[in-house]
Amino acid sequence: MSNHQKFYIDGKWVDPAAPKLLDVIDPSTEEAYTQISVGAKADVDRAVAAAKAAFPTFSLTTKEERLALLRRILEVYNERYEDIAQAVSYENGSPISWARDAQAWAGRAHMESTIKALEDYEFSERRGTTMVVKEPIGVCALITPWNWPLNQIVCKVAPAIAAGCTMVLKPSEVAPISGIVFSEVMDAAGVPKGVYNMVNGTGSDVGQVMAGHPDVDMVSFTGSTRAGIIVAKTAADTVKRVAQELGGKSANIILPDADFERAVRKGVEGCFGNSGQSCDAPTRMLVPAARHDEALEIAKKSAESHKVGDPRSEDTKLGPVVSEIQFNKIQGLIEKGIAEGATLVTGGPGRPEHLNRGYYVRPTVFGHVKPGMTIEKEEIFGPVLSVVSYEDEDDAVKIANDTVYGLAAYVQSKNIEHARAVALRLRAGQVSINYPEWDTFAPFGGYKQSGNGREYADWAIHDFLEIKGIIGYGE
């Protein structure tokens, strides 16, 4: 716990400029289990100054030097793997098995993918007598969320280092401990001072200051669309690049020729994974109207098989949602679904009957959800599935695309050519066919109000680079 109340700036663990503490709540007990310091403008200024001072040297390092650094970081990350998993389990309520197999794994997998992408990446290209050069953009502000902390930290830090950038990270103040452990990893790996800096704090007191800072060249933000709009407006005054991965309301189209039992069951599991707290979760299940009731029977059985309970138990499938704010929001939307006439198939308001404390949500399935209902339009961010009927394929595509979001979409069919044709019609940055394995080399990012820019592997490295054309470079 020695670093919980410190920031990591210029290669050292430091105290905040002005003492201010914030409780970190264990969502399974609703009680504080530690405290962090929260920063302010003076802390951001100090961290940005360190990153700015480190940039001229680090930006000129070779690809081989940066690869060696990333490999050292990965080695130390693996040494601290269990500490990272435990931190995520306590701070955001992930069942410990999920924290190990998904949360901590995601950070490792993205580090490995970035290393592989950098090995093959070319930073210059000859076009006749012109040399096109890709150079690091500069000092980067990295703002990450609480729902997939290691996934999003590594998805930003690793490609920024690969590109030769320096950075300041602000983890979510709701789930900050995994970010502190990650900073300990960076320190132990010998990252040059000033290249990586970390300041904890709120979005308004730290995140917005970073976004508007004149010495920050780029902001990479993951979070809600509402917060993303604020970040973009704040960054606009200094005309810096802003890459955003925001909200989603992803449709899962189950075509008539799909393996229906499997498609519905795995659709429920995909929606409920991480307690429903994934921006790309398949939260709208679109099924043929003639098979709607059949889908509800399968979904009900699947939902009720999800064991909800203590995240420290190895056999728990769903832990609590992250906070009281999220719990109350989800409860309000469940009640809204009932009030607007959707059929409550299973679950509903309140905690599961065997739990009397903690931010636990009952795994919930709604049927006969109509396009335009609140639960069909708004991102719920909890284990709540909406099942929607469609009349034909054109109707399914129309419903799927009728949203302000465009982060992800899903298609299920026994006919791969059929599924591919539907996938091409969906307005989303990533479309998954027949529940494939997670691909950390695929581009990840959104259309419309789900953001801009792309993360993962070489796609992410590209976002941290500027393009320079040197004309008359010669043969």
d(CA 378, CA 372): 9
Contacts of 331 (CB under 8 A, 6+ apart): 349, 350, 361
Rounded Cα distance, 327 and 346, in Å: 18
CB-count burial class (<10 Å; 0-12, 13-18, 19+) for 405: buried
The question of whether 466 is a catalytic residue gets the answer: no
Q: Where are the alpha helices (DSSP H) in 2-80?
A: 41-58, 63-79
Angstrom distance (rounded) from CA 282 to CA 386: 9
Nearest to 256 by CA among 395, 429, 375: 395
Q: How far apart are CA 289 and CA 418, in angstroms?
A: 19
Q: Report the alpha-carbon distance of residue 7 to residue 85 in Å, rounded.
A: 21
Q: Which of the following is catalytic: 184, 245, 376, 379?
A: 245
Examine the residue annotation and report whether 79 is marked as an active-site residue of this protein: no
**Beta strands per DSSP E along 350-403:** 364-367, 384-390
Choosing from 140, 165, 271, 279, the catalytic residue is 279
Q: Return all residues near 138 (Cβ < 8 A) that are at least 6 apart.
A: 55, 59, 165, 166, 216, 217, 218
Q: How many CA atoms lie within 13 A of 70 on its CB side?
A: 32
Question: How far, in Å, are 25, 35, 333 from residue 324 at the CA level?
Answer: 10, 17, 14
Number of Cβ within a 10 Å radius of residue 32: 11
Taking CA atoms, 443 is separated from 96, 146, 362, in Å, by 28, 21, 33
Backbone angles phi, psi at 243, to 5 degrees: -110, 130
Can you point out the beta strands (E) in 262-370?
284-288, 343-346, 364-367
Give bridge partners of residue 285 from the DSSP assignment.
252, 387
**Residues with active-site annotation:** 245, 279
